[in-house]
């Protein structure tokens, strides 16, 4: 694996690990799944395949951010609006 891709993979792993701290099923669950996903592809040598996997990881980051934003939105909505106002 080229050093530039290695850096991207490490950065992706760290970002996902950071985002996984607030995962609904728990940080330990997320960390174990993340580690398994990265270990599954640890022997990948093809740069194009690695780029595809990085893109997939970035998609997961966007999905996690959307999940957290939605959760915060719902919490704020529950705080300020009662169900009677509908």
Note every long-range contact of 9-17, with CB atoms under 8 Å and residues 24 or more positions apart, other chains counting.
9/38, 9/50, 9/54, 12/54, 12/57, 12/58, 12/61, 13/38, 15/61, 16/57, 16/60, 16/61, 16/64
Residue 75 pLDDT class (50, 70, 90 cuts): confident
Q: Is residue 12's pLDDT more than 90? A: yes
Residue 4 pLDDT class (50, 70, 90 cuts): confident
Q: Is residue 65's pLDDT more than 80? A: yes
Q: Is residue 46's pLDDT more than 80? A: yes
| Full-model pTM | 0.78
């Amino acid at each position: 694996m080229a050093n530039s891709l290695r850096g991207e993979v490490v950065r992706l792993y760290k970002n996902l690990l950071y985002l996984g701290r607030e995962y609904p099923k728990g940080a330990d669950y997320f960390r174990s799944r993340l580690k398994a996903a990265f270990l599954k592809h640890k022997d990948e040598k093809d740069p194009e395949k690695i780029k595809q996997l990085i893109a997939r990881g970035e998609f997961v980051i966007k999905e996690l951010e959307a999940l957290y934003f939605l959760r915060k939105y719902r919490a704020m909505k529950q705080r300020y609006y009662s169900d009677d106002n509908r």
